[in-house]
Amino acid sequence: MVDFRDRVAAALRARISPKGGVAIKKLANGIGRSAETIRLWLNGDTAIKVEDLAAVARYLKDPTLVAEIFRDLDAATVRKRFLWFTDRGFCNDAPAGHAEFVRRHLGLSPLLPGDGAVYALRNLGWVELTASGTAARLRYHAKGIKRGAAEAARGWLLDHADRIFSLSRAVLVGFEWVEAAELSVARIVAELDLAAPPSAVPLCRSERKPLDLLPSRLGEVLRAWRHAPDDAEAAAHAVRLGGRFSIFAADDAGSVICHRLGQIMRMPRRECEGANLLTWSDPPYAAELRRAVLEAREDGPTHREVRGPIFGPPRHFNRLALPVGDNIVTVTELRRN
């Protein structure tokens, strides 16, 4: 176990008079601590607090102070590590970067324009991971991660779960990135399972339809909304769709927050309610729903037919999205087929 008090003492002694150029009293005044406290640090009698260390480094205008004390956390240990999890279930190091690895793998010239990494995510079904110290960032495509790649990524994450404290991911849905940060390993593992379904499982599809093709019960809700927008919820209850009535808030930046999820919606309520849709663990569906909410905010009432897996199980339903006050509400009606 390293005693950082000795390292702090040595680093400070090198900078404080008589060895260094700064007087104890001047430093003490500069960082708002007593000269006695500085002496305790210099003698290694007291551990320095992180904020005090930062204050000393700032006062001395000497960023090398921190690096000197934590020299074992040097560039070699915190350097970025680029990994590819491939369709064959391998974990490949890509020391020169993800894109370079793909180009080498496919025999493409480095001069050829384009992003080789995104090509692999979209077309090869690989999962990309960048690890830096205790942080890791995953990127994958919403459709068709290869099962082998998902399994390899899953295994790596579980193996490193105790060493990763900051985990983020970006999912490519069409040409749009759906990003979320501060996720748990368990959460990403669940996402990978959803994103790499057996080949027989269909993909989520969403099609905008004319409002006059709404199923009759959603048509009733729309009529009530046209009479008075605030009547939409009561109308949904009247036609037994109250449990499928959800409320969202959207802003100009494109953030969509789920305020309330319909009571009978079979989705992970604790994860979904109160959260930004982009953090949901079913990114393809979250991206679809986000688009629908923003569309309704822009265009007014909209009707979509959605078919495909939603958080796992296959679903087929019509969705009416309506602006009500500052929010967007959605009502869905399952299709019987």
Partner 1 sequence: MIPYLDDFDASGEREPHRSILSTQVVPSILASLANEGFEVLVSHDLASKAEYNRLHADDPLLTRLPLIEPQYQPTATP
Using the structure block, give the residue that is written with the tokens 């990127």: 139
Of residues 238, 212, 210, the one with CA closest to residue 224: 238
**Of 99 and 272, which has the nearer Cβ to partner 1?**
99
Pairing of strands 302-309, 256-260: unpaired
DSSP string, 278-330: GGSS-HHHHHHHHHHHHHHHHHSSEEEEEEEESSSSEEEEEEEEEEETTEEEE
CA distance 220 to 214: 9
Among 107, 198, 210, 313, binds partner 1 (CB under 8 A): 107
CB of 191 to partner 1, least distance (A): 17
b/e burial code for range 12-46 (CB count within 10 A of at least 16 → b): bbebbeeeeebebeebbeebebeeebbebbbebee
Q: Cβ neighbours of residue 318 under 8 Å, at least 6 residues apart?
A: 209, 214, 215, 218, 303, 304, 305, 306, 332, 333, 335
Q: Which is nearer to partner 1, 77 or 199 (CB)?
A: 199
- Closer residue to partner 1 (CB): 18 or 107: 107
Q: How far is the CB of 101 from partner 1 (least distance, A)?
A: 14
Q: 177 vs 129, 151, 171, 190, CA distance in Å?
A: 15, 22, 5, 19
Q: Nearest approach, Cβ of 323 to partner 1 (angstroms)?
A: 31
CB 283, min distance to partner 1, A: 14
Q: Decide whether 44 or 116 has the Cβ nearer to partner 1.
A: 116
Q: How far is CA 233 from CA 88, 168, 221, in A?
A: 50, 36, 8
- Which member of 21, 32, 114, 325 binds partner 1 (CB under 8 A)? 114
According to DSSP, the β-strands at 176-180 and 256-260 are unpaired
CB of 115 to partner 1, least distance (A): 6
Contact code string over 288-327 relative to partner 1, x by CB under 8 A: ----------------------------------------
Q: 76, 111, 162, 326: which one contacts partner 1 (CB under 8 A)? A: 111
Shortest distance, position 107 Cβ to partner 1, whole Å: 6
**Is 123 one of the binding residues for partner 1 (CB under 8 A)?**
yes
Q: How far is the CB of 142 from partner 1 (least distance, A)?
A: 8
Specify the DSSP class assigned to residue 277: G
Q: How far is the CB of 67 from partner 1 (least distance, A)?
A: 39
Which of 115, 182, 298, 299 lies at the binding interface for partner 1 (CB under 8 A)?
115
Helix, coil or strand: residue 202 = coil
Residue 202-241 contact track with partner 1, rule CB under 8 A, x = bound: -x--------------------------------------
Rg (CA), the chain: 27
Write the binding mask 126 to 145 for partner 1: x where contact by CB under 8 A, - elsewhere. Answer: ---------------x-xx-
Peptide bond into 18 cis (omega under 30): yes
Provide the minimum distance between the beta carbon of 212 and partner 1 in the complex, in angstroms, as a whole number: 30
Residues 66-105 close enough to bind partner 1 by CB under 8 A = 87
Beta bridge partners of 331: 245, 320
User: Of 11, 60, 101, 116, which one interacts with partner 1 (CB under 8 A)?
Assistant: 116
Interaction between residue 200 and partner 1 (CB under 8 A): no
- Whichever of 122 and 303 has its CB closer to partner 1, that residue is 122
Q: Catalog residues that contact partner 1 under the rule CB under 8 A.
A: 87, 106-109, 111-116, 118-119, 122-125, 141, 143-144, 199, 203
